[in-house]
Amino acid sequence: MPIKDISRRYFLKTGTIAGVGVGVFGANVAFGKDDRKVKIGFIGVGLRGREHLRLALQRKDTEVVAICDIDPQAIKTSQEMIRKAGRKKAVAFSENELSYKKLLERTDIQGVIIATPWLWHTRMAVDVMKAGKYAGVEVSAANTLQECWDLVNTSEATGMPCMILENVCYRRDVMAVLNMVRQNMFGEMIHLECGYQHDLRHVKFNNGKQPYGGGVEFGEKGFSEAKWRTAHSVNRNGDLYPTHGIGPVANYTNINRGNRFLYLTSTATKSRGLHNYIVEKGGENHPNAKVRFKLGDIITTVIKTANGESIIVSHDTNLPRPYSLGFRVQGTKGLWMAVNNSLFIEGTSPRAHVWESARSYLKKYDHPLWKKYEKDATGAGHGGMDYFVLHAFVESIKRKTSTPLDAYDAAAWSAITPLSEQSIAQGSQPAHFPDFTRGRWMKRKPIFALDDQY
């Protein structure tokens, strides 16, 4: 069953038909007073999960019912956040790695935010949907092609939405450019670039006591992400984290909604950055200096779409460099490049062959969502964009509709990781994307951020 029909099937089944405004959401909706509160559970309340929790506690339309984490300190810190917000103490589940299933047994939870290590994302999202709840899953949503299919198949079978919580889709300049793309400022899309170019050496290694830096430990001796994320760099060679870049680009090119990814080729450089960091910070005799990292320092992936665009996706996390997602949006009339915050539009830019600042354009074409919710987003993580991704999740539940980013998106974007691994292992041979929509992409229409609602 196509995901666009999910909300109708689910709410017919549960008896909470859109428009009635009664039942679990409260009776006042029918009389013009929207007092609906979305009841949310959190699986994973580490650093990332607590940022979602913090924002949920600031909303008047959410109730944090339950939290789950195997780290007692994470539970304690989260409960203190809930107490300081003047909210009722959440029910906590922390006995073991499967305790989240007890959280899912609760009938008073409508949506669940998943912010756990990558290898748990798909299985937890699948279980959330099977429990009849909206799934909001952090990035990337899946690690293998089978997991990508699991997300799609479960969402279709249960009638429950699965939203990939890709916050960069809501970055202010990214959304302004989306507005420009939709107004044909750049003409027909031809070529796009993006990536995750972020020095993560201090994230992949620490001293076991703090989340960032201070040592070269990882795995059991590491803390926070170094405890689990670094292992992927040891064992895998591919684009491990594609969605921050590809999410916005997919919206620019209407992927799964009139367009789709066809195939990719990926190439990996040699691996030097992580080893050199260990030697520099811990010495050549440190035990971790003997670890051989499989992940190439830079992974370059080229994607071809059904509508003929080419997309370059870069993964660059092991070398010293400033942060950049490297966006480039190029069409038949001109282009925007985020690296130098410049653009050129033929017939509009004042001088031929000369860049002009994008600042005035980004202000002029500021997306309606940012104009409406700028004040609310102030102070939210990652420059405010964390506000919008949670807002979309909550509003989708309140409105009993599909989420603006869905399981098809989660699958197509996350599939870049296993396909890039496959391509690299086969000498940069093409690897073909499955059609996760089963042909529906040809008729589906764009729905992401079409107005100022969510």
Using CA atoms, how far apart are residues 139 and 242, in angstroms rounded to an integer? Answer: 9
Q: Look up residue 421 and give its two tokens.
A: 């691994």
- Going by DSSP bridges, is the β-strand pair 134-137/162-164 parallel, antiparallel, or unpaired? parallel
Contact 189, 252 (CB under 8 A): yes
Question: Residue with structure tokens 């990508």?
Answer: 148
Amino acid 119: pLDDT = 98
Using CA atoms, how far apart are residues 413 and 259, in angstroms rounded to an integer? Answer: 13
Residue type at position 279:
V
Using CA atoms, how far apart are residues 392 and 386, in angstroms rounded to an integer? Answer: 10
Amino acid 105: pLDDT = 98
Q: What stretch of H or E contains 237?
A: none
Q: What is the pLDDT of residues 229-260, one digit of tens each?
A: 999 999 999 999 999 999 999 999 999 999 99
Q: Look up residue 210 and give its two tokens.
A: 């703090």
Contact 37, 26 (CB under 8 A): yes
- Going by DSSP bridges, is the β-strand pair 111-114/91-93 parallel, antiparallel, or unpaired? unpaired
Burial class (CB in 10 A: 0-12, 13-18, 19+), 416: buried
Q: 383-406 in b/e burial notation, b at 16+ Cβ within 10 A?
A: ebbbbbbbbbbbbbbbebbbbbbb
Q: What is the pLDDT of residues 338-382, one digit of tens each?
A: 999 999 999 999 999 999 999 999 999 999 999 999 999 999 999
Q: What is the pLDDT of residues 178-187, one digit of tens each?
A: 999 999 999 9
Res. 36: pLDDT tops 90: no
Res. 11: pLDDT tops 50: no
Using CA atoms, how far apart are residues 419 and 126, in angstroms rounded to an integer? Answer: 22
Contact 317, 299 (CB under 8 A): no
Contact 411, 151 (CB under 8 A): yes
DSSP 297: S
For 375, other C-beta atoms within 10 Å of its C-beta total 7
Using CA atoms, how far apart are residues 172 and 56, in angstroms rounded to an integer? Answer: 21
Res. 3: pLDDT tops 90: no
Q: Look up residue 218 and give its two tokens.
A: 């990882």
108: Cα within 13 Å, side-chain hemisphere: 8
Contact 275, 318 (CB under 8 A): no
Strands (E), 138-234: 162-164, 189-197
| pLDDT range class, residue 20, cuts 50, 70, 90 | very low
| pLDDT range class, residue 13, cuts 50, 70, 90 | very low
Res. 128: pLDDT tops 90: yes
- The mean pLDDT value for 99-113 works out to 98
Amino acid 415: pLDDT = 99
Res. 89: pLDDT tops 80: yes
Contact 351, 275 (CB under 8 A): no
Q: Does residue 251 sit in helix, strand or coil? A: helix
Using CA atoms, how far apart are residues 449 and 281, in angstroms rounded to an integer? Answer: 45
Res. 5: pLDDT tops 90: no
Q: What Rg value do the Cα atoms of the chain yield, rounded?
A: 22
48: Cα within 13 Å, side-chain hemisphere: 16
Res. 32: pLDDT tops 50: no
Residues in contact with 443: Cβ distance below 8 Å, sequence separation at least 6, in sequence order: none
Q: What is the pLDDT of residues 293-321, one digit of tens each?
A: 999 999 999 999 999 999 999 999 999 99
Among 446, 453, 454, which residue's Cα sits nearest to residue 181?
A: 446
Strand partners, 122: none
Contact 176, 367 (CB under 8 A): yes
Question: Residue with structure tokens 């409406």?
Answer: 372
Res. 47: pLDDT tops 60: yes
| pLDDT range class, residue 22, cuts 50, 70, 90 | very low
Res. 33: pLDDT tops 70: no
| pLDDT range class, residue 27, cuts 50, 70, 90 | very low
Q: What is the pLDDT of residues 133-181, one digit of tens each?
A: 999 999 999 999 999 999 999 999 999 999 999 999 999 999 999 999 9
Residues in contact with 434: Cβ distance below 8 Å, sequence separation at least 6, in sequence order: 145, 148, 149, 415
- The mean pLDDT value for 48-54 works out to 98
Q: How much of the chain, in percent, has pLDDT values that exceed 70?
A: 92
Q: Indicate the Cα dihedral angle 378, 381, 382, 385, nearest 10°.
A: -60
| pLDDT range class, residue 110, cuts 50, 70, 90 | very high
Q: What is the pLDDT of residues 386-439, one digit of tens each?
A: 999 999 999 999 999 999 999 999 999 999 999 999 999 999 999 999 999 999
pTM of the prediction?
Answer: 0.94
Per-residue DSSP letters for 323-359? Answer: -B---EEEESSEEEETTTTEEEETTTSSSTT--EESH
Q: What stretch of H or E contains 453?
A: none
Q: How much of the chain, in percent, has pLDDT values that exceed 90?
A: 92
| pLDDT range class, residue 42, cuts 50, 70, 90 | very high
Amino acid 34: pLDDT = 67
